[in-house]
Structure 1
């Protein structure tokens, strides 16, 4: 069976319309942080205020996501999403109002917290749905590869939509578009949610959030580092384009890495099952480290920078797919949604830290931001080694499906 032919099974398991709906429903998730930055900065004429507003949104989103996941594990996605979706649309409407009026007081911070705290982790919930309907591990690997590809494209196209909407209309247009998508795609996504993914459990039997997070800690670590990698590479690329006198193409150069990453996430189904998860993490982190260091040397050419980022992206996509695969394997029963949403929180926090630290380092040159990204990738290598050691120690008592070495 060819690589792309493996994806033909997905519309048969779900449906083409449901898959398209999930793509549209997750777009606001990628648009809200940058949309907030654009709108608030324009209305207050202060980048610092825009950055602080974005931080409020991102922190609220990161904290709330696992709690929303826990709620969904307990009550089911349909109940939780049906309640939160209109609240999120209303919170975005409030954020549009405060941004458009130039408000920089408590009402702005409250609207940011509400918008972030009620943001819907659609990608995580979609992965949770796949876990319940696929018939075997190969189908699950295919579904996770597809979802990682969609995430990559959304996070590449989402910021592009923000830029287009803000340029073509008004600075708050991206937030208005996000609110409309929440209503038009988020509501149907909520109403088509399945019954609770696990059999009913007493609260005493349900694993605590801390136990779930500890169980999937290696995957969270990988996703957090990928987030830092994204954030620092974005700031480094922005500074590199500025250094070479072409700041307007920074987004396009950065997007090249996303294209490479999305392509290889799609191709990840071709990796033989015999290749251990620890080896996948190790090789992915090593490739990211080596090629981002190559990017640091492209000081005189945006074309060379783009080429190096394209090669770097080839290792990012499969690593993301692997991280979600580790999450599915390690999440205890009754904690799937918490585990999946914690991955989204990890990458969100990682991007924030990577952007902040990378931005400060970029003041001394784009290469320093890229080197910080290399450190984040190197940590992924270490996690791969740790998974190998841990898997080797417990191989005797682990089932073949649960062995991570």
Structure 2
């Protein structure tokens, strides 16, 4: 019999209405993968902006810089789900160790080619393995939380905490990369990114005790079902593509805006304000005991994101642009947190890392497309034309989300019930 009683905490219960971050961080063994995971995911936020600033410096074109960064993003988006699937099947360590080595070598190769004035096709060739080998540490950390907290109310708090961690990397990453590229050397950002990937990735891979267990080979055919077959995951992929368009469009357009006013170093500050809004709203979102269903929260939050993103192109001063960027950032975290939270109810644990990497890859793909289009718009049209990309990307994703929102409901559990001799049929548990 399905229960219809709403889970309200008792006033006499000593348990909090919503588990907090303190309780989450006291989870046994959490810090063993959180600290190296934080270091290993920093390069993810540094890669695109480092490539844009390096290639723009060597070629003088935002279009060329955006195209090279886009190739990297597309390669990452295409290979990330397979990386997640391999991690589910063979273990995270088996995927991370070769991945970080390939990424570091590829990043160094791309840097050398750009500085030597190599043709654009050579940069594209180096960008493919650079993007394809980006370690998917964020999804791997989320999968480890899933193992630690299976069935616990702390899972929503963990999703919020991971989103906050992601946004903190997007605060620090662009700031560090921009500072290195503008004050040290145009290649310093990508070189640092490669070094952090290698060191952080190896340290994270060394934490074998907390990685999800690998299913026995005899059950692989039954348990390893692709997350892409779930309709709700496909809807979330489109949703996250729109979020990626915000990241990519703003990275290129903010860099172009800062250069147009003669203050290239301001790019990191403006992007930092945007990411700080994202991080702060993530902290709040994770601390609230939500009574609204996650599907509805995603719709409302995404509508707010599309609305605020539509005002970016009209900002012509640093203060106004920073203010609107802050609002846009504040709308992204709730959408990301809710999207990742929905994954738990949509896919089984054996496909969860793959599902997370599909969403991460969607952000990367949306970012890659946005970087390319925004770069062309900035080169060919007026300063700030690249801000049209986040507006269009979020609007299209919102339309898809509204139309297909019914797919985000978790599937109803079924079981086989005998109805007479030699007669069996699946019946939804909630209907019994």
Q: Cα 1:393–1:358, aligned 2, differ >3 Å: closer, same or farther?
A: same
Partner of residue 331, structure 2? 315
Question: Are 2:153 and 1:138 equivalent residues in the alignment?
Answer: yes
Distance 1:391 1:51, change over 3 A: closer
Is residue 228–residue 234 contact of structure 2 (8 Å, CA) maintained in 1? Answer: no
- Check the 8 A contact 1:288/1:374 in 2, yes or no: no
- Secondary structure at the residue paired with 1:78? helix
Distance 1:235 1:275 in 2: 36
Q: CA deviation at 1:388?
A: 4.9
Deviations 1:364-405 (A, max 9, x none): 55675445423433345445534654468977989xxxx9xx
Contact 1:231–1:354 (CA under 8 A) maintained in structure 2: yes
Aligned residue in 2 for 1:69 = 84
Q: Check the 8 A contact 1:25/1:181 in 2, yes or no.
A: yes
Question: Which range is displaced more, 107-116 or 237-246?
Answer: 237-246
Matches of 1:98 and 1:369 in 2, distance apart? 27
Match of 1:39 in 2: 54
CA contact (8 A) 1:129 1:197 kept: no
2:329 and 2:30 map into 1 onto residues whose CA distance is 29
Counterpart Cα distance in 1 of 2:45 and 2:409: 38
> Are residues 4 and 160 of structure 1, via their aligned partners in 2, closer, same or farther at CA, if it must alter by over 3 Å?
farther
DSSP 3-state at the match of 1:103: coil
Of stretches 340-349 and 386-395 in structure 1, the one that deviates more from structure 2 is 386-395
CA pair 239-139 structure 1, distance change in 2 beyond 3 A? same
Q: Does 1:221 align with 2:234?
A: no
2:297 corresponds to: 280
Q: Does 1:302 align with 2:291?
A: no
1:94 to 109, 119, 123: 109
1:27 aligns to what? 42
Q: Give 2:138's aligned residue.
A: 123
2:227, 2:352 within 8 Å by CA — same for their partners in 1? Answer: no
C-alpha displacement at 1:190, in angstroms?
Answer: 0.9
1:233 to partner: Cα distance: 3.6
Confirm or deny that 1:147 pairs with 2:158: no
**Corresponding residue for 1:192?**
207
Q: Which moved more, 1:24-33 or 1:267-276?
A: 267-276
| CA-to-aligned-CA distance 1:154-183 (integer Å, 9 cap, x gap) | 123212222222234332222221222123
Deviation readout 1:110-133 (Å, 9 max, x if unpaired) = 332222111101111111111111
Q: Which moved more, 1:344-353 or 1:205-214?
A: 205-214
Corresponding residue for residue 356 of structure 1: 372
Backbone CA RMSD of aligned residues: 3.3
Structure label with greater radius of gyration: 2
Structure 1 residue ranges without an equivalent (≥5): none
Pair 1:162-2:182 in alignment: no
**Kept in 2: contact 1:283–1:381 (CA 8 A):** no
Extract unaligned runs of 5+ from structure 2.
Answer: 1-15, 416-429
Structure 1 10/225 Cα, relative in aligned 2: closer, same or farther at 3 Å? same
TM-score (norm 1): 0.85
Identify the residue that residue 342 of structure 1 maps to in structure 2. Answer: 358
The CA distance in 1 between the partners of 2:198 and 2:411, in whole Å, is 47
